[in-house]
Structure 1
Amino acid sequence: MIKRIVVVTGANSGIGLALCERLLMENDQIQLCLACRNMQKAEAARTALLSSHPAADISILQVDVARLKSVCQAAKELKQRYQRVDYLYLNAGIMPNPRINIKVFLSGLFSRKAIHMFTTGEGLLIQKDRVTDDGLQEVFETNVFGHFILIRAIESLLCHVDNPSQLIWTSSSNARKSAFSLLDYQHSQGQESYSSSKYATDLLSVALNRHFNQQGLYSSVVCPGLVMTNLTYGILPSFFWMFIMPIMWLIRIFTNTFTITPYSGAEALVWLFRQKPESLDPLVKYHSCTSGLGNNYVEHEKMDLEEESSEIFYQKLLDLEEQSLKKLSTAAKTIHSSVS
């Protein structure tokens, strides 16, 4: 029996690690690759997974999706290791320097929109972004473009008409159309870079289906719900969570999007592992949900986007890919010449 090969970016903690644990519970015969930036944390995650699944085939791969050189090297290693990749979970993501918009928080706290505000983070969360060594906005490069480059670099491993592969993006309920602009798709001018980047992944997923379904590659997006991870805990001081967590567990009785734990947040990601990709709707986002009694399930919801916009965005990414890789190649030649 041929083992299915699963690659998960950002697999060393949070939803990524919970996903890996659940995938091994689902099928411990897979070949699982933990694609992480920090090798020490990746090795710790591998050890933890092997403690509960000692016979599992688990490897680690170093990749920093915020550095194109690292992404290209990781793609090269994947092509050396495998002849195909069946599942590529595009999970790694950042929300740097998150801050609460106090004005929005106070005005919404005692309004009818309070639960909606906490569920989606609409207008509530703002971030301060920065420019990477590649000359790109960090949140955009990490959450979107680095993954896009990885997909493009390993197309030969992903595209098999006879046995389709799946791309599965960890998106968010914070993926809002109002935060994204095709004129500033890296979100260099705003303060909601995370929301913009997650909407961008939704657009990109739709475009990838249009261009690659006939080649045996399918893409889906998932919203894990409100999950408490290192990313979430960074939004507020630690002492604040001591007071708010009981309230959040109470709110979960009334809204199914408060999945809270990474295990529950991974529900839709695992559900997609079981599905035939040809049967999935490319315009649907799959939501992890948890009932008030703690039962996990998946809901489907049409995405708020235009297919024309997804195609325009895709073409912009292709142009940016050409420019970025040319710049990277030029830099490498310059370094080689100076060393020689």
Structure 2
Amino acid sequence: MSNFDTNSTAESVAKALATEIRSKTVIVTGVTPGGYGAEAARVLALEGAKVVLAGRSLSKIKATDEAIKKETPDAELRELVLDLSSQKSVREAADEVLKYSEAIDVLILNAGIMGTPYEKMVDGLELQFATNHVGNFLFTNLIIPKLFEAPAPRVVTVSSVGHQWGPVRFHDYDFQDGKVYDKWVAYGQSKTASILFTVELADRYKNTKLRAFSIHPGGAATSLHQHMTKEDYERFSDFYNPDGTAKGNWLRTVEQCSATHIVASFDPSIANETGAYLTECKIATDQVAPYAIDKENATKLWTLTEELVGQKFNV
């Protein structure tokens, strides 16, 4: 495996993998300025990739677009409005992608939310589960034909160490309509689902050219933390002071956290490890909860999610 580690940055990894990145077309979801997706998009554009900037907010997409163009004036960028919490929006975005003339080499499912209050979405699903899993599942499966136009397609799903806060609650994934809702257990469920989705996707396509990886990028100060409250900082007092500042040295930079996005997307040395979970730029089998890589759970989740989107996806 390549010699990337916790000190690597997205830019240093992209520079090392420049020949793999150049001229590839990559969709990056969740490109809010200052976040992991925006940084991944920036360094990919810097190394000559064509980048599709996908997100819920057109104004945030445009802000990232402008920032990248300022640094790399000849960057090839597209904008794609994609609200993962709405299956209608996901289907519309997928239809747009299917009309692209070029193949999609890599799909980086970076967009996500964390620790939100209970909210039921238009499709009847809890917000975190809808956004962090169901939307990703639907979008990926709908654009599979564009991925298979590429010579070595990859799907990278951003999970979290937070998957250890809870398995998928197959018996009650909606927390009794919010009556027994715990936002951190719900977040854990959604991020466990991200890993299980990767496991099943990799298995279903194991005899094809498609490769799939899930990652924990690490923790940095981004807008992902916008729903954290005083009570949350008390709950996670091993990691945070009461004022929300980080304890110890676990907090990393956005540049470092985004490095694993690039490794999972382009490092040729991990191509045979499809389905793996990465953190700090390396495959991390000892840092993933057993329930998150359980094949029976992965298949069960795939079937459940097909029911939730009203569509079956076969290889």
Task: Give yes or no for TM over 0.5.
Answer: yes
1:93 correspondence with 2:116: no
CA deviation after TM superposition for structure 1 residue 23, in Å? 2.1
CA deviation after TM superposition for structure 1 residue 178, in Å? 3.7
Structure 1 residue runs of 4 or more that deviate by more than 3 Å after TM superposition? 185-190, 239-245
Give percent identity, aligned residues only: 22
Assess if the C-alpha contact under 8 Å between 2:50 and 2:77 holds in 1. yes
Assess if the C-alpha contact under 8 Å between 2:52 and 2:78 holds in 1. yes
Assess if the C-alpha contact under 8 Å between 1:94 and 1:231 holds in 2. yes
Quote the residue 2:202 is aligned against: 209
TM-score, normalisation: structure 2: 0.79
- Paired with 1:186 and 1:282, the residues of 2 have a C-alpha distance of 30
The 3-state SS of whatever aligns with 1:65 is coil
In structure 1, give the amino acid aligned to 2:187.
Y
Assess if the C-alpha contact under 8 Å between 1:90 and 1:147 holds in 2. yes
| Residue 6 to residue 202, structure 1, CA distance change in 2 (3 Å) | same
Larger radius of gyration: 1
After TM superposition, the structure 1 = structure 2 runs for residues 11-90 of structure 1, keeping only pairs within 5 Å, are: 11-13=31-33, 14-25=35-46, 27=47, 29-90=48-109
Quote the residue 1:317 is aligned against: 305
After TM superposition, the structure 1 = structure 2 runs for residues 106-185 of structure 1, keeping only pairs within 5 Å, are: 128-160=117-149, 163-176=151-164, 178-185=166-173
- Paired with 2:225 and 2:75, the residues of 1 have a C-alpha distance of 30
| Residue 306 to residue 177, structure 1, CA distance change in 2 (3 Å) | farther
After superposition, give the CA deviation of every residue in 1:288-316 in whole Å (9 maximum; x if it has no partner). 2xxxxxxxx54523432311111111111
| Residue 319 to residue 156, structure 1, CA distance change in 2 (3 Å) | same
Q: Relative contact order: is structure 1 or structure 2 higher (C-alpha 8 Å, sep ≥ 6)?
A: 2
Q: CA RMSD in A?
A: 2.7
- Paired with 1:211 and 1:260, the residues of 2 have a C-alpha distance of 35
Quote the residue 1:225 is aligned against: 218
- Paired with 1:314 and 1:259, the residues of 2 have a C-alpha distance of 33
Assess if the C-alpha contact under 8 Å between 1:5 and 1:87 holds in 2. yes
| Match for residue 270 of structure 1 among 246, 250, 262 | 262
Structure 2 unmatched ranges of 5 or more: 1-18, 234-239
- Paired with 1:243 and 1:186, the residues of 2 have a C-alpha distance of 31
- Paired with 1:5 and 1:131, the residues of 2 have a C-alpha distance of 34
TM-score, normalisation: structure 1: 0.73
The 3-state SS of whatever aligns with 2:28 is strand
In structure 2, give the amino acid aligned to 1:152.
N
Quote the residue 1:116 is aligned against: none
| Residue 5 to residue 308, structure 1, CA distance change in 2 (3 Å) | same
CA deviation after TM superposition for structure 1 residue 96, in Å? 4.6
- Paired with 1:235 and 1:150, the residues of 2 have a C-alpha distance of 28
| Residue 233 to residue 318, structure 1, CA distance change in 2 (3 Å) | closer
Between Structure 1 and Structure 2, how many residues are aligned?
275
CA deviation after TM superposition for structure 1 residue 259, in Å? 4.3
Quote the residue 2:9 is aligned against: none
| Residue 216 to residue 277, structure 1, CA distance change in 2 (3 Å) | farther
In structure 2, give the amino acid aligned to 1:5.
T
| Match for residue 4 of structure 1 among 10, 24, 30 | 24
In structure 1, give the amino acid aligned to 2:217.
P
Assess if the C-alpha contact under 8 Å between 1:166 and 1:277 holds in 2. no
| Residue 242 to residue 47, structure 1, CA distance change in 2 (3 Å) | farther
Assess if the C-alpha contact under 8 Å between 1:12 and 1:34 holds in 2. no
| Residue 184 to residue 244, structure 1, CA distance change in 2 (3 Å) | closer
Structure 1 unmatched ranges of 5 or more: 98-127, 253-257, 289-296, 325-340
| Residue 173 to residue 42, structure 1, CA distance change in 2 (3 Å) | same
- Paired with 2:76 and 2:144, the residues of 1 have a C-alpha distance of 23
The 3-state SS of whatever aligns with 1:174 is helix
